[in-house]
Amino acid sequence: MPPQTLTEGLNALIRGKAIAPADLESAALFVLDTLACAIGARQTKPAQILGRISPPKVDDVDKSSFYVGGVAHILEMDDLHRASVTHPGSVVIPAAWAFAHLKDLGGKAFLQAVLAGYEACTRVGMAVGKEHYRVWHNTATCGPFGSAMAVAILGELDDRETVWALGNAGTQSAGLWEFLAAGAMSKHLHTARGAQAGLMAARLAKEGFTGPALILEGEKGFFKGLCPDPDPGAVLRDADAPWQLVQTSIKPWPCCRHTHPTIDAAIELHHVLGGEEITQIEVGTYQAAIDVCDRPDPTEPYGARFSLQHCVAAALATGRVISDSFESAARADLADLRGRVSVGVDLQVNAGYPDAWGTVVTVETKSGRRLRAQRRECKGDPGNPVTPNDLREKSAQLMQAAGISAAEVARFTDAVFALLDDRPVRDLRLEHLVV
């Protein structure tokens, strides 16, 4: 027998993991979160463009997966797996959902495929190393492995076909951070293509379209080409660990996940300050957060969502961060306070990344008080999770803001949880996604 490749091992690991009822319940929560994020974004300009080019249809899985994958990431409210620095839901769930719609599959098979897809995406993501993230967007590069694995499960691919699917998913890996400097829409294309690419790879493999088994560790493979400091062992490490889906965070605030620990700490300080004037704000965080979110003077909403300075100012001033916190009026109101923020690397916080996404926020007041709040985990992380009721409220707010009636929100939410009773995936109707 030839040596086992990493994709062969990953397929065996995933197919060998036990699935408990609680795992499927967690998967249903992430399905609700991802689809609510997608529905909530349907009236935005990027969604309108994606919908014109790639309208979702039950009989066209390529267009459906592309559209839903793209819109799920627009509001910056979709989930985040810290150790891999990926947003698995916006890639895995659209691909699995589109395929399950096409084949009219039941809810349990769909949820099992979601678990498998998250596992593949995040295990590859945990292996890419820290340097990869400086240039490449992990969700875009690692996401196709997740969408391919999910569709391989739903499409009943055998082991050889699944390895082909993963090989051809990996050869489509792409997604560069350059869009951020221009405030461009490319990040939504990353998740759109990530969902579509993996789905296509799995469907092709089922027809006998071969792919490279050594796509990850080969001499001209993924790690060699895209990763200066990979950790290939992470792909198969801790095989008996809980499903990676249950290690994934759900976002409570509509901005880059790197800003969330700082927001959480700043909200705590807001309640202590009692309106006292702030003279100086210090944010100590990890290097990756600074690489992506050091934006002292954002000039448009998307840049503000990626600004540590703006997010900490909003949280300190108002005690909350919502979509309106990033619009022009809020940016103008917070300009002075934002100018008092300094951002730097905290060595202890940086050492904990990416397993822990932490922060230290220190505030000095006009009266001379010096207040400090620290986070290793923030609201929405597995150690401090949102509750099912929290998630229902978040999802309802997102969908109702997009014009979905309260009655339809309730029906849609009930249909997601009915997947646990093996209700058809088609009960989650496509028409909710477009205006």
**Helix (H, G, I), strand (E, B), or coil: what is residue 322?**
coil
- Looking at every residue in the chain, the average pLDDT score rounds to 95
Gyration radius (Cα) of the chain, Å: 21
Beta bridge partners of 362: 282, 372
CATH architecture of 6-252+384-433: Orthogonal Bundle (1.10)
In whole angstroms, what is the distance from residue 245 CA to residue 218 CA?
Answer: 28
In whole angstroms, what is the distance from residue 143 CA to residue 151 CA?
Answer: 13
Listed in order, strand segments (DSSP E) in 153-304 are 278-285
Percent of the chain at pLDDT exceeding 90: 91
In whole angstroms, what is the distance from residue 308 CA to residue 265 CA?
Answer: 12
In whole angstroms, what is the distance from residue 325 CA to residue 386 CA?
Answer: 21
**Helix (H, G, I), strand (E, B), or coil: what is residue 32?**
helix
Per-residue confidence band for 1, with pLDDT thresholds at 50, 70 and 90: very low
Percent of the chain at pLDDT exceeding 70: 99
How far are the Cα atoms of 91, 163, 184 from residue 19, in angstroms, in the given order? 21, 22, 40
φ/ψ (deg, to 5) at 323: -60, -40
Domain ranges of the chain: 6-252+384-433, 257-375
In whole angstroms, what is the distance from residue 119 CA to residue 99 CA?
Answer: 18
CATH of the domain spanning 257-375: 3.30.1330.120
Q: Is 260 within 8 Å of 357 (Cβ atoms)?
A: yes
What residue has token string 């448009």? 300
Per-residue confidence band for 197, with pLDDT thresholds at 50, 70 and 90: very high
Confidence (pLDDT) at 431? 80
Q: pTM of the full predicted structure?
A: 0.91
